[in-house]
Amino acid sequence: MNIRRILAITAKELRQLSRDRPTLGMIVGIPVIQMLMFGYAINNDVRDLKGMVLDQAQSTQSRALVADLQETQVLHVVGTASSEDELRAEMRRGAVSIGIVIPHDMERRIIDGDRPVAQLLVDGSEPGVDGIANGIATIPIGLRTGYSVPRSRTVEVRIENNPERRTAVQVVPALIGVILNMTMVIFTAGAIVRERERGNLELLITTPLTSGELMVGKLLPYIAIGFVQTTLITIIGWALFNVPINGSLVDLYAGAGLFIASTLTLGLVISTLARTQFQAFQLAFMTMLPSILLSGFAFPYEGMPKVAQGIAQLLPLTHFVEIVRGIVLRGASIGELNVYLLKLSVFFAVMLAIAMGRFRKRLD
């Protein structure tokens, strides 16, 4: 082996890398993003879980109990419900993670000291929330107005939607979004670049196709592929992991269709930014890591700092995780999840407009 020739090739590669700005950005960007995600945004010490109160006692003691629960800093009461049906409806659409039910006979329970004085209804579809609620239940809470009776558990915890507390039930439905996010972005990230590298872009320029027609035509085949993947994951989750499907499959496919279209438009934007397929893959990878870590797929969303939560709101996977868990596990209808659908629709429209605006029927 000739050392001089090896050094010459090494020098050539370094010069090429120095001219490839996206690759240089990835060299610095990937480790920085990963460090920030794992060291700053991922936090299992959850605070301010959204809760709603159904206070049937309407007494000084019941209000004191709610105040004591909030002082743990784990719960943040965002509203009150007039009935259990209203409380469950808010939990079903994902507005709150925990419901606090205080019974009519709270004072008698305080005096007797043999029964919990309240009940926590916990959304078991979200990872980590059930463990946090059980932690609250074992904290000694002093009722401020007297009747302080020693007890091991002040409140009773009831897990909704996943009473067996199986991890597969929480993870498998959200995997639909994670897998679609990975495959759809990669599929379309190289779409325009591939046409350019193969020389097909010259042929497309000579056709009467508009930018919009080209973008939509690029999306449609992959939407069909996305529905196939959704079907496969749903069947495997139901058959192998006994994941219940409590909602409508029609609603599930409607939400999945909008999410697929949204992730595909993100891939198209990447494709208009990249000059080579390698650059397109790099940019696609950079979008996947924040989506998976910040979406609430594996880590509680409420545990993230406000800045990380704000970034998560810009990612389509964050909203689809709520949609798929709402439909599959909580039995919500598509109408009850309209807030998340609206956010996905806005993301789709903005990304498609950017992709169409950036694409020009020119070789440069």
Q: Which pLDDT score is estimated for 142?
A: 57
Task: Give the Cβ contact number of residue 191 at 10 Å.
Answer: 22
Residue 82's domain is classified under what CATH number?
Answer: 3.40.1710.10
The domain containing residue 150 runs over which residues? 49-160
Q: Which pLDDT score is estimated for 207?
A: 64
Q: Which pLDDT score is estimated for 74?
A: 83
What's the chain's Rg over C-alpha atoms?
Answer: 26
| Domain match, 188 and 233 both | yes
Which of 123, 212, 213 is closest to 169 using CA atoms? 123
Q: What is the DSSP letter of 334?
A: G
* 127 vs 260, more confident: 260
| Domain match, 212 and 329 both | yes
Confidence tier at 297 by pLDDT (50, 70, 90): confident
Confidence tier at 145 by pLDDT (50, 70, 90): very low
Strand partners, 100: 53, 120
Q: Residue 54 above 80 pLDDT?
A: yes
Q: Which pLDDT score is estimated for 44?
A: 67
Q: Residue 40 above 70 pLDDT?
A: no
Give the end of a domain, one of 101, 129, 160.
160
Q: How many domains does the chain have?
A: 2
Q: Is residue 254 part of a domain?
A: yes
| Domain match, 353 and 215 both | yes
* 173 vs 296, more confident: 173
Beta-carbon contacts of 53 under 8 Å, excluding residues fewer than 6 positions away, are: 66, 77, 79, 80, 81, 99, 100, 102
Which of 261, 260, 183, 177 is closest to 216 using CA atoms? 261
Alpha carbon 277 to its chain centroid, in Å, reads 28
Q: Residue 286 above 70 pLDDT?
A: yes
Q: Is residue 18 part of a domain?
A: no
| Domain match, 118 and 156 both | yes
| Domain match, 103 and 137 both | yes
Q: Is residue 210 part of a domain?
A: yes
Look at 85-89, 126-130, 140-144, 231-235 and tell me which has the smallest mean pLDDT.
140-144
pLDDT cut 70: percent of the chain above it: 83
| Domain match, 141 and 208 both | no
Q: Is residue 7 part of a domain?
A: no
Segment 128-145 shows an average pLDDT of: 69
Q: With contact defined as beta carbons under 8 Å apart, do 122 and 158 qualify?
A: yes
**Beta-sheet pairing, 118-123 with 98-102:** antiparallel
Q: Is residue 23 part of a domain?
A: no
Question: pLDDT tens across 338-364, in order?
Answer: 999 999 999 999 998 888 887 665 545
Q: Which pLDDT score is estimated for 300?
A: 77
Measured distance CA(160)–CA(1) in Å, rounded: 67
Segment 105-111 shows an average pLDDT of: 83
Q: Which pLDDT score is estimated for 147?
A: 47
Strand partners, 102: 55
Q: Which pLDDT score is estimated for 190?
A: 75
| Domain match, 136 and 181 both | no
Q: Which pLDDT score is estimated for 198?
A: 64
| Domain match, 106 and 187 both | no
Look at 180-184, 188-192, 250-254 and tell me which has the smallest mean pLDDT.
188-192
Q: With contact defined as beta carbons under 8 Å apart, do 106 and 64 qualify?
A: no
Tokens of residue 62, six digits: 């019941």
| Domain match, 105 and 201 both | no
Give the end of a domain, one of 160, 189, 217.
160
How much is the mean pLDDT over the chain?
A: 82
Q: Which pLDDT score is estimated for 127?
A: 80
| Domain match, 208 and 121 both | no
Q: Is residue 24 part of a domain?
A: no
Q: Which pLDDT score is estimated for 53?
A: 94
Segment 255-275 shows an average pLDDT of: 89
Q: Is residue 32 part of a domain?
A: no
| Domain match, 201 and 149 both | no
| Domain match, 136 and 205 both | no
Q: Residue 62 above 50 pLDDT?
A: yes
Q: Whole-prediction pTM value?
A: 0.82
* 80 vs 14, more confident: 80
Q: Is residue 238 part of a domain?
A: yes
Give the end of a domain, one of 125, 160, 195.
160
Q: Is 101 helix (H, G, I), strand (E, B) or coil?
A: strand
